[in-house]
């Protein structure tokens, strides 16, 4: 490669590695570089590829490099899709396009947690004004089940009680404020305006002197346990968590789907739920569903207005309800366009020949259930939301820190001192342990060992800087360079008694300097000179400099 080619300047790439004969690599993009021809003043253009090395057909080292692609150096061994997850690349190699394949045993392709499960597809169909067309990108993912015992699972007839706990708070429940110092709950004269469902760990549960549980359901408000109105439920109690089983008979005519009673049942259920929500910004939602139900059958033919039904089911205000529907119905992925249930649709509904031909082709390409057990019977199957349904089955907790464990850690505290504060720590860790990667005993032990060192025996979230002169000089470079200030701001002792407390605010300003040469300190000189404003905070103390950088601000006096 030369420094000049095609009128532009190029940097010469140094050679920093080699590939052995037979090595495979994956090329992401190609580019032409210029290489000097030995013993001449001329240059030749060479094709290079930005690549990653493959081992067993898989990228194991993320490092990318440029490699020469001349025929004498490399030859193409096939095509690959590097942006696909590993499981999808394996599926492309094993599978056949537009064909259903059933894998068993070792041939089953496994997906790792966090892997993408699909991609957006381009949907195109003829528009009303031909030859125009309608197109958009979308993806469609569903969870299906042909298990007749699914209702027992949703209703938790086996009374499974492991996994995550949730708190359900019904509407019209009295909200209370909480005085943590005196352990007193005071009614606010305001009630909940909607049903609230929260993971128990987020509600900071407290048991009062009478043994009654209290839960924090808003930023500042609490409710007390009250039968089924305010209760704890298990993650397996899907029916109590809002999931609704809806069944319809096998469809004999897909052109009359909106005439079936089950659709009206869905909308009536949404109306009932909407009436329970008394938030001001939700006031018009019930009226909207009442209007839809009144005008469903405009012309008296027994068919519902499809557009109104769609708007009712996809109302953003009710999405949390709709995504919890578990519907048993006939699938459009079983019968092709020439079968009985579709005959009337393509004969009498879709009259335009171009559109008719398009939709027949589209439908026929989607049929797959006849080739896959247990869906091959053609009976109605259960359809569930792929994210909401599975999310409630997943126990995200990998650890369970209790408040008693924290009292053992902070052995300078005794119940009920700082009980609410410690419960907040436990809740935060339990809910987000996987995110924080506190997912092993070793990592957890290391984390809490440092927390204990930072916060001390009494769980002090604010760093203490009550140091002697010698301690300031030994610990901090600023005071090693300014010993007179160390003497000025350190605590003073007479015998064994401290007669002057250290000026911790002044110390904090000097040890958390951003620019020592210019004496610019974190914090504002005009702000209240409180100890807590300048010192480090947190379970693992972070100085203000770290905090301000992390949120993109520099607070400089």
Give residue-wise pLDDT tens across range 412-466.
Answer: 888 888 888 888 888 788 777 777 778 777 888 888 888 888 888 888 877 778 8
Beta carbons within 8 Å of 392's beta carbon, 6+ residues apart:
235, 238, 241, 243
On whether the CB atoms of residues 333 and 366 are closer than 8 A, the answer is yes
Instruction: Please report, for the chain, the start and end positions of each structural domain, with discontinuous segments joined by +.
Output: 4-91, 165-234, 403-455, 469-550
Task: Give 36's strand partners.
Answer: 43
Instruction: Report the alpha-carbon distance of residue 504 to residue 535 in Å, rounded.
Output: 8
Angstrom distance (rounded) from CA 511 to CA 467: 12
Could you please report the per-residue DSSP string of 332-390? TTTS-TTSHHHHHIIIII---HHHHHHHHHHHHHH--GGGSTTGGG---EEEE-TTHHH
- Flag whether pLDDT at 329 surpasses 70: yes
Q: Helix, strand, coil % (nearest 5) of the chain?
A: 35, 20, 45
Q: Cα Rg for the chain, rounded, in angstroms?
A: 34
Is the model's pTM score more than 0.95? no
**Number of other residues whose CB lies within 10 A of the CB of residue 387:** 10
Strand, helix or coil for residue 52: strand
Query: Tell me: the pLDDT tens digits for 120-166?
Result: 888 877 765 555 667 888 887 888 999 999 999 999 999 988 878 89
Which residue bears the tokens 């989607």?
Answer: 366
pLDDT at position 225 is 92
Q: Which residues contact 306 (CB under 8 A, 6 or more apart)?
A: 258
| pLDDT of 479 higher than 50 | yes
Q: How far is residue 31 from each of residues 9, 18, 67, 69, 462, measured CA to CA in Å?
A: 15, 19, 10, 10, 56
Token pair of 409 as six digits? 């850690």
Q: Which residues contact 269 (CB under 8 A, 6 or more apart)?
A: 244, 321
Contact indicator for 167, 203 with CB cutoff of 8 Å: yes
Q: Is 382 exposed, middle or buried (0-12, 13-18, 19+ CB in 10 A)?
A: buried
> Do 143 and 389 meet the contact criterion of CB atoms below 8 Å apart?
yes
pLDDT in tens, 352-407: 888 889 889 989 988 999 888 889 988 999 998 887 887 777 655 556 788 888 99
Q: Which two tokens stand for residue 506?
A: 């002044």
CB 215 within 8 A of CB 204: yes
pLDDT band at 258 (very low <50, low <70, confident <90, very high): low
């Amino acid at each position: 490669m030369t420094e000049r080619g095609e009128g532009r300047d190029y940097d010469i790439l140094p050679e920093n590695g080699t590939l052995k004969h037979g090595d495979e690599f994956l090329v992401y993009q190609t580019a032409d570089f210029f290489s000097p021809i030995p013993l001449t003043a001329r240059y030749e253009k060479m094709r290079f590829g930005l690549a990653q090395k493959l081992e067993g057909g898989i990228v194991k080292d993320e490092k990318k490099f440029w490699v020469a692609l001349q025929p004498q150096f490399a030859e193409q061994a096939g095509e690959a899709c590097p942006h696909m997850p590993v499981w999808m690349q394996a599926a492309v190699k094993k599978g056949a396009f537009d064909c259903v394949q059933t894998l068993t045993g070792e041939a089953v392709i496994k997906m790792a947690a966090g892997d993408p499960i699909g991609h957006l597809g381009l949907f195109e169909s003829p528009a009303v004004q031909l030859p125009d067309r309608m197109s958009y990108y979308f993806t469609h993912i569903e969870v299906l089940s042909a298990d007749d015992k699914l209702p027992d699972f949703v209703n938790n007839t086996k009374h499974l009680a492991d996994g995550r706990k949730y708190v359900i708070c019904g509407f019209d429940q009295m909200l209370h404020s909480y005085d943590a110092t005196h352990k007193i709950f005071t009614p606010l004269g305001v009630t909940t305006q909607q049903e609230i469902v929260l993971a128990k760990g987020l509600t900071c549960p407290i048991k009062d002197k009478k043994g009654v549980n209290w839960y924090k359901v808003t930023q500042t408000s609490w409710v007390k346990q009250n039968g089924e109105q305010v209760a704890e439920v298990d993650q397996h109690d899907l029916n109590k968590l809002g999931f609704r089983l809806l069944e319809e008979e096998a469809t004999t005519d897909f052109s009359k789907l909106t005439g079936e009673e089950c659709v009206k049942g869905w909308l009536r259920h949404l109306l009932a739920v909407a009436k329970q929500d008394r938030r001001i910004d939700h006031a018009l939602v019930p009226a909207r569903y009442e209007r839809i139900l009144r005008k469903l059958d405009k012309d008296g033919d027994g068919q519902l207005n499809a557009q109104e039904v769609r708007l009712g089911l996809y109302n953003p205000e009710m999405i949390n309800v709709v995504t919890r529907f578990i519907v048993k119905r006939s699938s459009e992925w079983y019968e092709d366009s020439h079968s009985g249930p579709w005959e009337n649709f393509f004969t009498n509904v879709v009259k335009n020949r171009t559109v008719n031909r398009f939709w027949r082709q589209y439908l026929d390409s989607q049929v797959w259930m006849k080739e896959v057990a247990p869906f091959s019977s053609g009976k109605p199957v259960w359809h569930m939301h792929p994210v909401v349904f599975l999310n409630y089955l997943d126990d995200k907790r990998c650890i369970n820190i209790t408040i008693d464990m924290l009292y053992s850690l902070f052995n300078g505290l005794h119940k009920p001192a700082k009980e609410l504060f410690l419960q907040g720590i436990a809740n935060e860790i339990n809910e987000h342990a996987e995110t924080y990667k506190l997912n092993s005993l070793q990592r957890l032990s290391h984390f809490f060992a440092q927390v204990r060192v930072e916060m001390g025996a009494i769980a002090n979230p604010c760093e203490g800087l009550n140091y002697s002169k010698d301690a300031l000089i030994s610990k901090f470079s600023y005071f090693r360079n300014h010993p007179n200030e160390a003497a000025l701001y350190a605590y003073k002792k007479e015998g064994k008694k401290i007669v002057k407390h250290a000026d911790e605010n002044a110390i904090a300003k000097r040890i958390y300097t951003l620019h020592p040469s210019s004496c610019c300190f974190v914090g504002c000189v005009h702000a209240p000179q409180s100890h807590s404003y300048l010192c480090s905070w947190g379970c693992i103390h972070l100085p203000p400099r770290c905090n301000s950088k992390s949120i993109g601000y520099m607070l400089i006096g």
